Amino acid sequence: MVPVLFILIPLVSGMFSFLLKNEKTVKAWTLIWSVITLIISVLSFSVLTKSSATHFEAAWMPNFNSSFSVGLDGMSKMLCLLTAVAFPIIFVATWNTTYRKPNNFYALMMLSQAGLMGVFVSMDALLFYFFWELAIIPAYFLCSQWGGEKSVTATFKFFIYTFVGSILMLTGIIYVHLYTPGQSFALSAFYSVQLPNNGFASSWLFWLFFLAFAIKMPLFPFHTWQPDTYEQSPAATTMVLSGIMVKMGVFGILRWVEPVMPYAAWQWGDAVSTLCVVGMVYASLIALQQDDLKRLVAYSSIAHMGLMGLAIFVASGTGMQGVMIQMFSHGINIIGMWIVVDLIEKKFHTRKISELGGLAQRAPVLAILLVIVALANVALPLTNAFVGEFLMFTGIFTGSFALLTLASRMKRPQLQLAPVRSEHP
């Protein structure tokens, strides 16, 4: 029943939030229930081991041979814990931010959490697709209704990219479903599927799934929605998008692509790895030219996700372990970076690096926090991201020394700030 609680608590509390009119009340309400979700997640990660507590199945769409099947394995537990940790942090970090119609804002945030939890615990392909959409749809409204001046344009691009990706994934799910034993949508049936022995069919099926997940990560060249959306979204939504939602893409590849289409993943592994490295180089170089802190962090995140994609497709066990660790570490670190950016913007009323000279003199604590979080994001030894990145680089080394060289050289410059001038000494 624990996976059901992960979905039910934020779903019900989010629906009830629509009815609350007082801003402080709705903030307290969502924070309390997000903390309760966190407590349950910690218990499930450390205490609960019985299958009766970590798995649940009920009739859902029997005519389509699809069931409401949810469960917790190691990867699901870790990503549910990341989601459960992130939301209370986000709510506390943005506590003093005032939103118009706060009940709608916080209700949509909770619905997004319910969708994210559902994605990570789904053991049925059709259910997985349902929660995929449930997680994304609230983000559309959060970005467009509470975003910046150009939020409508950015959200429209976000919508087009994710809508196309979702349609491609649904097409792939239905196709695989037709060849599963008993034409089932169950995850176990997908893992036992006997696809036609046709190289062309397996290739286009691979790309149907991969494109949907690559857009969500995002990987080059399917990333162009990301910088604009991150820049225009409210800080809390940006934290959810960057810290958790991008992990939906990584999770999708690990859960639904690699095990279901291993030959196609191997066949196209070099092509995808090349795209990942190109994306890392491109995003890092673009990040160096940014004057807006939000766009700087956005492009640096593309480089991080490119490294994860590269580690996945070099097909190394060590690299895979690194990806698993790094998904959690990156989520915590990137949310920390967005919190610092939000604090800087609120204190100095600007995100332009060229106008932030003398930050250490005017706000020394904030400057120290920025340095600490930035060093964690570049995986300095003794920070939480170092272990995951070390394992990923080790795995990449076993696959291709050339790719490792490019990846390691272009991973570092992304968080360097350009020299700035300031009238403030």
Residue 102: asked if its preceding bond is cis (omega within 30°), the reply is no
Identify the CA nearest to 69 among candidates 85, 54, 51, 55. 55
Helix or strand run (H / E) with residue 342: helix 317-348
- Please tell me the predicted confidence (pLDDT) of residue 216: 87
Burial letters for 132-152: b for 16+ Cβ neighbours within 10 Å, e otherwise? bebbbbbbbbbbbbbbeeebe
- Please tell me the predicted confidence (pLDDT) of residue 34: 92
Q: How far is CA 231 from CA 13, 298, 346, in A?
A: 28, 8, 15
- Please tell me the predicted confidence (pLDDT) of residue 89: 93
d(CA 7, CA 58): 14
Mean pLDDT of the chain: 84
Q: Are 107 and 18 spatial neighbours (Cβ–Cβ below 8 Å)?
A: yes
d(CA 196, CA 178): 11
Q: Are 244 and 119 spatial neighbours (Cβ–Cβ below 8 Å)?
A: no
Domain ranges of the chain: 268-416
- Please tell me the predicted confidence (pLDDT) of residue 82: 92
Q: Are 187 and 259 spatial neighbours (Cβ–Cβ below 8 Å)?
A: no
The stretches in the chain having pLDDT less than 50 are: 409, 412-425
Identify the CA nearest to 234 among candidates 376, 102, 38. 102
CA–chain centroid gap for 128, Å, is 15
Span 328-339, pLDDT tens digits: 988 899 999 899
In a 3-state reduction of DSSP, which class is residue 424? coil
